[in-house]
Chain A
């Protein structure tokens, strides 16, 4: 499996660099800077630092700027991670390389992990840019509890990966990327609580947001970054279990759909 992971990551990286030699890096830096500016202007000029009392209660911190910048950065990260992993197979299909890939005895999980690894590198650059711009804009974080940041960060990545696998099956089944991905991203942006605490939402929307592993892993990661507190192990279970369920469903459905794809196409 690891052969496939590293080979796929290297292949994607080479192909990306060859396709977008300088725009590749610059695009991510601009994206990161824009995100921080929007959060900063909203906070300073739109709401003029006037926060609802409930915000600190819901968010666990009154630091809205850090809350919004972290949420925005993680939203960009999750969207690009989910989009690129989920689109991987349908892109192979469109470019005429899926047959060659499926002919080989390579691990499909390895293939997706390789795509995710390369995407992590790309999205990591955006995160880095956001962090630099955020600090320049006045974002301050408490001293982090490194283990908790590591565990919740890993869970966040895992939940993105898990959701991407399921999304990928849907894309492959419907042979559509645009409507499927944008519908999901609009829903996750609203329900997962990237820009504001989910408690502001009506009860049924809060419950709907709980279906995504992204929601609980985002809350964990942001909580530990904002407060610097350690995360109890039991708090990680909902995100972990939900991610594992999504991964199992995603792998199963991908296998089913990719075989069905040739049936549909051939008929």
Chain B
């Protein structure tokens, strides 16, 4: 388990004002952040640019020292065990960095394997395996400068796994990738956590990706932790409940209290928020007039099976059913605009 306790990171930079004058500027990138990552878990780290995501990843991967607070990896304080921690972690960043372009894919993995102290036989078998896993066996002996962006990104993943890390930090891993490659990468990430038991920290601007992959999400704003929960819980908490819209014929306002009563008996919170005439006014009879009933609930999908028997009981005909489901992106936008306290 990685445990980050009350970590603060303050940068001090000097702005030159002249030949002999400079002013010191301090920037608090991360403030009193407490975070944990268990093995087998995918944890998302979200926030706007400058929220402190990359600083957090760099502290976790030993590249930066916290100004205050502590980081422990499997009970080892990072500050006193940098080398041991480096054996347990690795980082994969989006883009085309962190690879030697004049070396081939295989030579890159061999070099990094050596830096982690692996022996020749182990490096050979591991690099063959990783190249196969990321689909680069055919291009293994081609210089990286001839690789496409997607191939470089896949090689980065192989590089990040060369030391068989127990914890992996992914900083925008699908940045600029084509949709099929991004999907394949997401599947690899899921398998690394769920099948190989690696603890993964993921930052991404693609919030759908975070929603799809992450077990828990930390939301940062200006270095402070705003929220930490499961993605759907964050959506519910920030962007509100889902809304189901049921289009029915034969609606009567007298049914409203009965529907409210029925909704109150459901196993999850559901609230009738509207019932309005939805037809264009040319209907032949009242029974053909279409009404739109809106119900707010924690799970709009479940409502159809729960409302169907009720509508049939009162002779209503269902003409349509739609759901409005806020997602993580809606929640993050609301948070960033300060519309949620």
- List A residues at the B interface (Cβ < 8 Å): 3-4, 6-8, 11, 14-15, 18-19, 95-97, 99-106, 259, 262-264, 266-267
Contacts and interface: CB of A to CB of B under 8 A. Distances in A.
A248 to B, nearest CB: 20
A21 to B, nearest CB: 12
B172 to A, nearest CB: 14
Given A7-B115, A97-B99, A267-B13, 13 more contacts: A7-B111, A8-B111, A14-B102, A19-B102, A95-B101, A97-B98, A99-B97, A100-B99, A100-B159, A102-B62, A105-B82, A106-B117, A264-B13
A266 B115 contact: no
A7 B101 CA distance: 16
A240 B48 CA distance: 54
A138 B101 CA distance: 45
A203 B338 CA distance: 70
A105 B83 contact: yes
Interface residues on B, range: 35 or more
20 contacts: A3-B115, A4-B115, A7-B111, A8-B111, A18-B102, A18-B103, A95-B100, A97-B100, A100-B98, A102-B63, A103-B62, A103-B63, A104-B163, A105-B83, A105-B87, A262-B58, A263-B11, A263-B12, A266-B54, A267-B13
A106 B111 CA distance: 11
A99 B95 CA distance: 13
Given A7-B114, A104-B115, A99 B93 contact: yes
Contacts of A105: 82-84, 86-87, 115-117
Given A3-B117, A104-B115, A262-B63, A15 B100 contact: yes
Contact of A104 (B54, B55, B116): B116
B64 A263 contact: yes
Contact of A103 (B55, B90, B96): B90
A266 B102 contact: no
Interface in B46-85: 54-55, 58, 61-65, 82-84
B81 to A, nearest CB: 10
A266 B143 CA distance: 30
Contacts of B211: none
Closest 8 CB pairs of A and B: A96-B97, A267-B11, A7-B114, A104-B115, A106-B115, A105-B86, A100-B98, A15-B102
Contacts, number: 95
Given A7-B115, A11-B107, A262-B64, A267 B29 contact: yes
B112 A99 contact: no
Given A105-B86, A266-B55, A266-B58, A18 B91 contact: no
Nearest to A263: B11
B7 to A, nearest CB: 15
A11 B111 contact: yes
A11 B63 contact: no
Contacts of B84: 105
Contacts of A104: 86, 112, 115-116, 163
Interface string B110-123: 11101111000000
Between A7, A102, A105, the greatest number of chain B beta carbons within 10 A of the residue's beta carbon is seen for A105
B96 to A, nearest CB: 7
B61 A103 contact: yes
Nearest to B27: A267
Contacts of B86: 103-105
B111 A266 contact: no
A95 to B, nearest CB: 7
A14 B115 CA distance: 17
A267 B82 CA distance: 23
Interface in B1-41: 11-13, 25, 27, 29
A6 B96 CA distance: 26
A114 B98 CA distance: 19
Contacts of A100: 97-99, 112, 159
